[in-house]
Amino acid sequence: MLTRLLMLIGVAGGITVLLTGAWPGPLDQTPQPAESRFIPQPIALDDAIVGQGISAAELVHKAIEKLEPARIAWLRTRMRQTIVDAQGSRIIEGLLQRGPNHCARLEMKAGSRRVTTISDGNVAARVLNVKGQSQVEATESLPATQDLAGREAFLRERGCGGPVTLLRLLEPSLASATLQTGTLGETPVIRIRMDAPPSMPHARLVEVYLDAKTLWPRCVEWWNEERSRWRCATRMEFLEEEIDRILSPEECERVFSYRPT
């Protein structure tokens, strides 16, 4: 079975989620971690970063511009997706790394199952590991070097686009977006709340929490209304980000090259 682990739009458990495709077997049941809830309160914002009198839609577009691959050569972020449904809470952990020339590495793990996508800029490999046993599921050549848009789309379709891919998917709903400052745990944030776009038919609302100092998307939540009560059905967090930390040639070889064993 060809496993496709994509940070795109799909349906799992009756709700819209980021990770789609045929995951090898059921997700392990994992206790949901204690969530840091949003507390509305005034936050002093840096005009040089946020700007004066900016709307919610303009703020999301500004965050997208800061995250464009053309502007960020190096990126590393840990990801955590929590899915809540009738079966309980499940967690998928991930690590995304991007480098110049469309090098990328995405590792996603749920329980004893791991899917790794590795691109050295020429060829991408997708490897499935179950209980320590690895299997190469696909190797594919990237589009031609001069086709920059095609190469980026290739990585995006295989889950390596990063948080900017998710923010772009929300653009159709930005006309309904509102903003409010506050804190998420100990982090000052700007909450952007909007109707779920048509591509997410199994969610009613989407909330994006942008770091008030950097506009990094700390968290994105999908909400449903059930029996007159709102419930967060899916939560995606982007954690411990490192932007433009240059790797050494040795590190690049280790991270962005697949060496079958």
pLDDT greater at residue 148 or residue 259: 148
Which residue type, as a one-letter code, is found at position 97?
Q
Angle at CA of residue 124, ends 123 and 129, nearest 5°:
140
Q: What's the CA gap between 117 and 5, in Å, rounded?
A: 9
pLDDT tens-digit readout, 175-209: 999 999 999 989 999 999 999 988 887 888 999 99
Res. 260 pLDDT band, cuts 50 70 90: low
- The C-alpha atoms of residue 89 and residue 82 are separated, in whole angstroms, by 7
What is the pTM for the complete model shown? 0.84
pLDDT digits (tens, 9 = 90+) for 7-36: 332 322 222 333 333 344 444 443 334 456
Q: Looking at residues 30-56, what average pLDDT do you find?
A: 77
pLDDT digits (tens, 9 = 90+) for 205-228: 999 999 999 999 999 999 988 777
Closest by alpha carbon to 179, among 212, 150, 154, 152? 212
Q: How far apart are CA 54 and CA 210, in angstroms?
A: 14
Give 76's strand partners: 97, 242
Backbone torsion region of residue 60, taken as left when φ is above 0, otherwise alpha when ψ lies between -120 and 50, otherwise beta: alpha
Give me the domains of the chain, ranges plus CATH numbers: 28-256 (2.50.20.10)
The amino acid occupying position 158 is: R
